[in-house]
Chains A and B, each alone.
Chain A
């Protein structure tokens, strides 16, 4: 059973705000929510992480409702260079009691001129 669910793909245009929502109905009390970005032929890159409410950095904002069963990554005024795959992760405990990073299928964002 998938830990997270997010749209397979999204399209947007330069200058628009893009919101990508991720569902994580079975999130555990200790889990953090983390988003990564991956360009072709590169390893993923950390974007933002949060536990609850709202987190903002120079790249994006992350909105997490009180029940934490979903989260929304918000990218303000996207440009062509934001075309990438975006992954939502929540912590997952291994058999040894440690958190491991499990990536889902991700959302493929295409930004058009």
Chain B
């Protein structure tokens, strides 16, 4: 595909369950970002990958959140033991290098019930 692809587009899960959110960046993009956006609010930075490395994980809200990237391509954001406050849209973006244009996916809307 030509753009950043995220799956699933919508996810409803029960409190306490684990979820995995997937991001397929644009081919060749070395930088990959994850953000969380609660309803009516701005984007909250979660984590950033340069290649397969995450230089800064300080944005992850708690140890229930983790992310990995393999093959300098697909990335997975995992939320363990989901809580209702985890409900939000999770956005992924990729860019060819830092300080260049970042392309965003459509996001995964997570609802924890």
Spell out A's residues near B (CB within 8 Å): 32, 34, 42-46, 49, 85, 87, 91, 94-106
Report yes or no: B48 in contact with A100, Cβ–Cβ below 8 A. yes
Report yes or no: A101 in contact with B101, Cβ–Cβ below 8 A. no
Chain B residues in 8 Å Cβ range of A106 = 42
Total A-B residue contacts, Cβ distance less than 8 Å = 66
Chain A residues in 8 Å Cβ range of B99 = 32, 49, 91, 99
Chain A residues in 8 Å Cβ range of B48 = 94, 98, 100-101
What are 10 contact pairs spanning A and B, CB under 8 A?
A42-B106, A43-B106, A94-B48, A94-B56, A95-B58, A96-B55, A98-B55, A101-B45, A101-B102, A106-B42
Minimum-distance CB pairs A-B, first 7: A96-B55, A43-B104, A94-B56, A103-B43, A99-B98, A46-B101, A100-B48
- The residue among A45, A100, A103, A105 with the most chain B CB atoms within 10 A of its own CB is A100
* B91 sits at the interface (CB 8 A): yes
Chain A residues in 8 Å Cβ range of B58 = 94-95
Interface size on B, residues (CB 8 A): 25
- The residue among B58, B102, B105 with the most chain A CB atoms within 10 A of its own CB is B102
Asked, given contacts A43-B93, A96-B55, A97-B55, whether A103 binds B45 with beta carbons under 8 Å apart, the answer is yes
| Residue ID in chain A nearest B56 by CB atoms | A94
- The residue among B41, B45, B106, B107 with the most chain A CB atoms within 10 A of its own CB is B45
| Residue ID in chain B nearest A30 by CB atoms | B99
Asked, given contacts A32-B99, A49-B101, A91-B98, whether A100 binds B56 with beta carbons under 8 Å apart, the answer is yes
Complex CA–CA separation, A99 to B53 (angstroms): 13
Residue in A49, A85, A98, A103 whose beta carbon sits within 8 Å of that of B56 in the complex: A98
The digit string for B42-66, where 1 denotes a CB below 8 A from any CB of A, is 1101001010010110100000000
Report yes or no: A94 in contact with B55, Cβ–Cβ below 8 A. yes
Residue in B45, B100, B105 whose beta carbon sits within 8 Å of that of A43 in the complex: B105
Residue in A45, A87, A94 whose beta carbon sits within 8 Å of that of B42 in the complex: A87
Residue in B41, B50, B98, B104 whose beta carbon sits within 8 Å of that of A45 in the complex: B104
| Residue ID in chain B nearest A85 by CB atoms | B42
Complex CA–CA separation, A96 to B47 (angstroms): 12
